[in-house]
Amino acid sequence: MIIRQVFALACMLYFPAAPVHAQNTPLPPFSARTVQSTPDQPDRIGYITKSGSFMRLEFEQDGEDIIQILRPVEGRTLILYPASQTYFERTGPAQTEEFAESYTPPCPPEMEEGGLSCTRLGIEVYQSIPVERWHISTAASSNRMVILWDPKRKRALRQEMSNGTVVQMTFLKIQELDGREAEHWVTEFPRAGATTLRSEWWYDPELQLVLRETLPDGTRRRMENIVVGPVDPGLFTVPDGWKRIGEPRTESQE
C-alpha cells in the first residue's frame, strides 16, 4: 500500500489589495510548524520547510515519524523513516523550475490517468483576479463541473455544478496573523433544504500558502512559528548511511 499523504494542512503546498508574484519571481524560503485540530481527536502536529521548488514535510503516521521530501524539478519524491534510517524513492515526470515554483493545474496527471477529463476553456477575470476556466468530467459519471481556477492560490474560486449548484469563494479583507498579512476568504456551500455550509481560509500572498483554514466539520488547520529566510540545503537530501528500500512501508511492515 502506497503511503498516505501527509494531512491536508501540509499540502496547502496558494485582491484587490494584495499583489501576486510574477511567475519568474522566486518565493522566499521558509519553515513553519503545522497544526490540524479535529473535534474529539488529538491535534496532529507537523513541520514544513520550503526552498525554491524543494519541500520537506515532517509528520507522524500510525505512531511513526516520517519525512517526505519533494524535488519536482528532478521528478523525485523521497520518503524517509528516521527510526530505521531507511528511505523509499519514487520517480515521475520532471517539472521545469518555473512550472514547479509558480503553477499548479486543477487536475494532476495521476487524476487524469484515472479517468478525469479536464479541459482548459480560457482565461477571464473574477473578483479582480486572473483565473482559468476549466471543464471537468468523468466518463463514469454524468456529473459535470465548470470551475474558475486560480493557479496562484491553488483553489477553484467558483464551481458551477451540472445540477445548478454554485460554490464560490469571496474575498473579505486583509488581516494580520502572527505578524503576516493574509487575505481572508470565505466559501459557502449551498444545500437544498439544509443549512449552507461555510469554510474560511487565510492566504499569505508573499509565501503563496494558506496560513489558517476552518472547515464545516469543525476541523481547523493552521501554520505557526513561521520563519522566513535561508534554510539548510541538506534538509532536502537523504542523510549519509541511510538504506534505500524497494517499496514504501506499510502498517504491517517492521
Q: In sequence order, what are the residues at sequence separation of 6 or more whose Cβ sits closer than 8 angstroms to the Cβ of residue 193?
A: none
Task: Kindly write down the DSSP assignment for every residue of 179-222, as one continuous string.
Answer: TEEEEEEEEEEEETTEEEEEEEEEEETTTTEEEEEE-TTS-EEE
Does residue 193 lie in a domain region? yes
Contact between 58 and 236 under an 8 Å Cβ cutoff? The reply is no
Evaluate whether residue 122 is within a structural domain: yes
Residue 103 lies in a domain: yes
Total domain count, the chain: 1
Burial (Cβ within 10 Å: 0-12, 13-18, ≥19) of residue 245: middle
pLDDT tens digits in sequence order for the chain, 254 residues long? 333 333 333 344 332 223 333 344 678 999 999 999 999 999 999 999 999 889 999 999 888 999 999 998 888 999 999 999 999 998 877 765 544 555 677 887 666 667 788 899 999 999 889 999 999 988 777 778 999 999 888 889 999 988 888 999 999 999 999 889 999 999 998 888 888 899 999 999 988 889 999 999 999 999 999 999 999 999 999 999 999 998 765 543 44
* Separation between Cα atoms, residue 129 and residue 120, nearest integer Å: 17
Q: Which residues form the domain of 207?
A: 8-244
For residue 138, is it within any domain? yes
Task: Please check whether residue 202 lies inside any domain of the structure.
Answer: yes
Whole-angstrom distance, CA of residue 171 vs CA of residue 126: 11
Residue 70 belongs to a domain = yes
- Give domain status of residue 3, yes or no: no
226 assigned to some structural domain: yes
